[in-house]
Structure 1
């Protein structure tokens, strides 16, 4: 007849339970410190406390406006796009003009100078040409030489940044005077495209190239930051 073990716990486990309701936790099983969160304390919402030195360091001389944590859709979309624009300029700040044209990660032909030309062209393409329908030429492009933005860096770097800032200003004006649901006809597909979609596209475009700028800047002088 098999022995009934239902009432006889393992002796080692029994020893762990002596004098307490729960066995002691091993160090690695212990949860990190917890804190209650803001106005939702009454709901019992808790969050892990992350030490400040565990966060990525902020870029030196950071002048970016903090991103909103809550807000309506237009505010969120425009704030994130502005933050990424400012992030790109921050990554380029403090670099001598002659070094902005360096292509430090071969075989890629990317440079900070090339990126600012590319982003100026993208701003013009999406906001002025695609959405507003303005009759303006493409920047840094021809059918015979479609990669002028990155490959043809004979122009003045300071002028390239001024062109980019001008395109950003015009894009802001277009966005201010349009609704998120307003549409234009996408030239490539002949399908309608909304301003909302264009803003999301531009946020993604800048997020991608801000990452490129991170790597380029670190290769130039070792500077890093969030």
Structure 2
């Protein structure tokens, strides 16, 4: 795999520091992974570089904050690609959380986390998710079934899991866009490049 050639989820047009995205005419795997990386990078751009006050700011009648979105999507990455895809126990901090008893824990607990902690949690989840997806691709490709939460033919494939996570990011990037504009007026559709806390592939 060559960085920037489209096979690592980057567009391959402006070198390793360009914003990632799907190739113009890639394979199904390249397109799905590239699209997910673009959503991750856009999300990182919308939530990055903020202090605790900004991450905890609300707008209108919503209780959603940028910090809560960071922690929620970190949990989505962990749940989908570590636990569901491979049937493995969640890693810290999720291993001690009663998500059935308190399903909103990622949303409300984010208010107690420092910005660096929130960013590190999301970044770590993304890095583990990439490795988990690569492992599954080598063990059945996009047709590989999840190992937890379903049985037999009801178990979704990795293909479906990737689409689900893409939809989750797309929804919340929209939320983050509105919240970030309310915080400091920052607007825009595509990140200018790789922006912290996005972990380059």
State the TM bucket, normalised to the shorter chain.
0.7 to 0.9
Partner of 1:130: 84
Matches within 5 A, 1:1-226: 63-106=18-61, 108-136=62-90, 139=94, 142-152=99-109, 153-178=111-136, 179-185=141-147, 187=149, 191-226=154-189
| Cα distance change, pair 141–149 in 1 and its aligned pair in 2 (3 A) | farther
Give the direction of change, closer, same or farther, for the CA distance of 1:118–1:225 in structure 2 (3 Å limit).
same
Which runs of 5 or more structure 2 residues have no equivalent in the other structure? 1-16, 190-201
Counterpart secondary structure, 1:103: coil
TM-score by length of 2: 0.74
Shift of 1:136: 2.1
- Determine which structure has the larger helix proportion and give its number: 2
1:123-179 deviations in whole A, cap 9, x for unaligned? Answer: 011000001111226836533322122223112221111011111111101111221
Structure number with greater CO (CA < 8 Å, separation at least 6) is 2
- Larger Rg belongs to: 1
